[in-house]
């Protein structure tokens, strides 16, 4: 029995099936398959030969080979006669190998494997990460956290990987560390040891079969006392990650049915120096119950208060910026820091309000502002809402308050009680909280953390080291960039050493002479700049 004269419907079916698989894996190949399917559908000509697919855009040798194998299997399974061109195509694709891999009889100077004695194989060398490297640590962490290969988040991977890596998983631009150990995930993905699934946000990472085999081998090569237990690694950690309910049992959680909702406005949120109570008065006029207090992150958020007076933070938070303040935050670096802290809250609805009053003259910062607003929606995935002035912002907040109240009407919430946290448990806590929500959110309720927990996590000002403070102090002098400040700090590690050097030499041009042969971002420390620094540190 011969095949149909037009095989387009079969090729489309197989491409669509493969495309679905690639989408579920989060593979970039899915985009190429989607485009290939669209172009094949537009083709009016009958496709009776796999070689004709080469004329269709986005269909290359790999897709042609894939469809040829599918067709061979289809013929064998359904009793069709295999066409000669199908066999030829199979032979052609399988013969696309480097000419250096010819089969020859082993000679006296050649081993059975085809490699000369003492020589090196020309085949691709298998990638194996060095011990205690960042790639090594990520593989171990994925094996510990995700032996079932279902996928875990970045924060979960880092929580364990940091134990097996000599490098840090966090960047620190102030000290010249612009890349972290996490960048090695790209190497593992390129070597097909790890797969990144981008169908959901945040992205999930899991080992391929080859990656799991390599990670298992790496674990077996560890000393026995250092070897993690894959099925029950670190009992405390396992209690936090695998059974989030057990982790929170120590602090307790309770279900609330009766509660009131109140808007909380940061006490630094004012319209102007002469109208400090503007937002409070406007919200009161709109019959919105509010409270003014210092917030650790964001400008406005909502809390639910129980009859006993306990509070939990609900899932909506607002950051408000006038355009002039937005420009200032971009220039001094607060913009990215504030956005990152908002993202870390793990709240569902993060809303960014910009007030675009007409008197604002952006000048040369117009492009930077547009880029930053785009980042808010794409990189950070916040909801962006633009208003013309503070009055319009108040109207929007009153509407948002009613929306929050309606969403929680006749709906129970589960509150996680207060507990003591430290910085080391923050990542584990956040990941466990997400898992706890998935586990407990069965009946339409939602899990929220106590306000005291929220404040303890995001209210702690990060401890800034003397080195970072010193660099920032140097940068207060006009003309001292971050790179120059770092270079000066390397030669004079402490403020005292710089002051001592200036006082001993009594030369305002000391730094220009010291860095005479050194180039910092293509610019030297000039004599004029050295004199400026001397006015602060040498007198």
Sign of CA dihedral 393, 395, 401, 406: negative
Of 226, 256, 273, the last residue of a domain is 226
Can you give the CATH number for the domain in which 26 is found? Answer: 1.10.150.110
Can you give the CATH number for the domain in which 145 is found? Answer: 1.10.10.10
Structure token digits, residue 449: 């953390």
Q: Are 390 and 267 in the same domain?
A: yes
For residue 364, what is the DSSP state?
G
Closest by CA to 242, choosing from 438, 488, 13, is 438
**Structural domain containing residue 138:** 134-226
Q: Are 411 and 448 in the same domain?
A: yes
Collapsed DSSP state (helix, strand, coil) of residue 300: strand
Q: Are 414 and 320 in the same domain?
A: yes
Closest by CA to 416, choosing from 371, 462, 452, is 452
Q: Are 477 and 515 in the same domain?
A: yes
pLDDT confidence of residue 251: 52
Structure token digits, residue 119: 């020589």
Q: How many CA atoms lie within 13 A of 342 on its CB side?
A: 26
Of 30, 56, 86, the last residue of a domain is 86
Q: Are 190 and 301 in the same domain?
A: no
pLDDT confidence of residue 401: 92
Of 458, 474, 493, the last residue of a domain is 458
Q: Are 280 and 328 in the same domain?
A: yes
Q: pLDDT by residue for the chain (539 residues), tens digit each?
A: 777 788 888 888 888 888 777 766 667 777 788 888 888 888 878 888 888 887 887 888 888 888 888 888 888 888 887 877 775 554 444 444 444 444 444 444 444 344 445 454 455 578 888 888 889 989 988 888 876 666 788 888 888 888 888 777 876 665 556 678 888 888 898 888 888 876 666 788 888 878 888 888 888 888 777 777 664 334 343 333 334 444 455 556 677 888 899 999 998 887 776 777 888 888 888 899 999 988 888 899 999 988 888 888 888 999 998 888 888 888 776 777 778 778 878 788 899 999 876 555 666 777 788 888 888 887 778 888 888 888 888 999 999 999 888 888 877 787 776 554 444 455 556 666 666 666 655 544 566 777 877 777 776 444 345 666 787 788 888 888 777 887 788 888 888 888 888 888 888 888 887 776 554 444 577 888 888 888 888 76
pLDDT confidence of residue 423: 45
Q: Are 313 and 441 in the same domain?
A: yes
Q: Cα–Cα distances in Å, from 7 out to 3, 17, 57, 462?
A: 8, 16, 17, 64
pLDDT confidence of residue 474: 85
Q: Is residue 98 part of a domain?
A: no
pTM above 0.85, yes or no: no
Q: Cα–Cα distances in Å, from 19 out to 13, 74, 161, 416?
A: 10, 19, 33, 42
Q: Are 425 and 451 in the same domain?
A: yes
Could you tell me how many helices (H) and strands (E) the chain has, helices first?
A: 22, 11
Can you give the CATH number for the domain in which 430 is found? Answer: 3.40.50.10130
Q: Are 250 and 218 in the same domain?
A: no
CA terminus-to-terminus distance, the chain: 98
Q: Are 302 and 420 in the same domain?
A: yes
Q: Is residue 414 part of a domain?
A: yes
Q: Cα–Cα distances in Å, from 467 out to 7, 30, 95, 500?
A: 69, 47, 60, 17
Query: From the CA atom positions of the chain, what is the Rg in Å?
Result: 31
Structure token digits, residue 420: 């003591």
pLDDT confidence of residue 111: 40
Do 227 and 219 contact (CB within 8 A), yes or no?
yes
Q: Are 445 and 479 in the same domain?
A: no
If one counts the domains in the chain, the total is 4
Structure token digits, residue 202: 């945040």
Q: Is residue 235 part of a domain?
A: no
Q: Give bridge partners of residue 42 from the DSSP assignment.
A: none
Q: Are 279 and 138 in the same domain?
A: no
Contacts of 529 (CB under 8 A, 6+ apart): 477, 479, 480, 511, 512
Closest by CA to 376, choosing from 328, 325, 333, 342, is 342
């Amino acid at each position: 029995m011969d095949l149909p004269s037009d095989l387009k419907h079969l090729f489309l079916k197989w491409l669509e099936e493969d495309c679905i698989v690639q989408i579920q894996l989060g593979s970039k190949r899915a985009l190429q398959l989607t485009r290939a399917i669209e172009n094949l559908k537009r083709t009016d000509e009958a496709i009776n030969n796999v070689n004709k697919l080469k004329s269709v855009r986005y269909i290359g040798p790999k897709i042609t080979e894939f469809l040829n194998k599918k067709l061979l299997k289809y013929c064998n399974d359904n009793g069709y006669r295999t066409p000669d061109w199908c066999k030829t195509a199979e032979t052609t694709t399988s013969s696309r190998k480097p000419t250096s891999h010819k089969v020859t009889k082993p000679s006296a100077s050649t081993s059975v494997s085809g490699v000369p004695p003492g020589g090196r194989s020309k085949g691709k060398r298998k990638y194996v990460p060095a011990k205690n490297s960042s790639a090594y640590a990520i593989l171990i962490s994925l094996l510990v956290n995700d032996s079932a290969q279902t996928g875990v988040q970045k924060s979960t991977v880092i929580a364990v990987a940091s134990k097996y890596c000599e490098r840090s998983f966090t960047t620190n631009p102030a000290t010249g560390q612009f890349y972290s150990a996490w960048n090695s995930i790209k190497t593992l993905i390129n070597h097909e040891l790890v797969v990144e699934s981008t169908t959901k946000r945040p992205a999930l990472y899991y080992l391929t079969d080859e990656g799991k085999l390599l990670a298992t081998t790496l674990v077996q090569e560890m000393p026995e006392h250092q070897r993690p237990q894959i099925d029950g690694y670190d009992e405390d950690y396992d209690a936090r990650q695998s059974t989030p309910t057990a982790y929170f049992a120590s602090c307790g959680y309770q279900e609330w049915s009766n509660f009131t909702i109140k808007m909380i406005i940061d006490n630094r949120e004012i319209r102007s120096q002469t109208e400090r109570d503007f937002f409070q008065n406007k919200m009161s006029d709109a019959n919105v119950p509010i409270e003014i207090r210092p917030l650790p992150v964001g400008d406005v958020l909502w809390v639910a208060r129980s009859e006993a007076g306990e509070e939990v933070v609900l899932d909506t938070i607002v950051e408000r910026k006038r355009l002039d303040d937005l420009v200032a935050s971009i220039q001094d670096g607060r913009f990215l820091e504030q956005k990152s802290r908002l993202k870390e809250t793990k709240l569902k609805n993060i809303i960014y309000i910009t007030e675009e009053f007409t008197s604002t003259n952006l000048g040369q910062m117009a492009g930077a502002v547009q880029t930053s607003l785009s980042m808010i929606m794409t990189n950070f995935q916040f909801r962006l809402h633009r208003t013309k002035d503070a009055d319009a912002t108040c109207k929007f907040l009153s509407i948002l308050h009613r929306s929050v109240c309606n969403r929680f009407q006749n709906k129970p919430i589960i509150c996680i009680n207060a507990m003591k946290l430290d910085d080391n448990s923050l990542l584990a806590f956040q990941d466990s909280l997400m898992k706890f929500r998935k586990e407990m959110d069965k009946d339409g309720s939602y899990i929220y953390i106590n306000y005291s927990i929220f404040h303890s996590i995001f209210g702690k000002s990060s401890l800034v080291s003397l080195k970072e403070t010193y660099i920032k102090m140097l940068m207060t002098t006009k003309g001292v960039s971050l790179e120059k400040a770092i270079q000066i700090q390397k030669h004079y590690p402490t403020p005292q050493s710089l002051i001592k050097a200036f006082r001993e030499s009594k030369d305002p041009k000391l730094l220009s002479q010291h860095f005479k042969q050194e180039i910092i971002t293509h610019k030297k420390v000039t004599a004029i700049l050295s004199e400026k620094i001397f006015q602060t540190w040498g007198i």
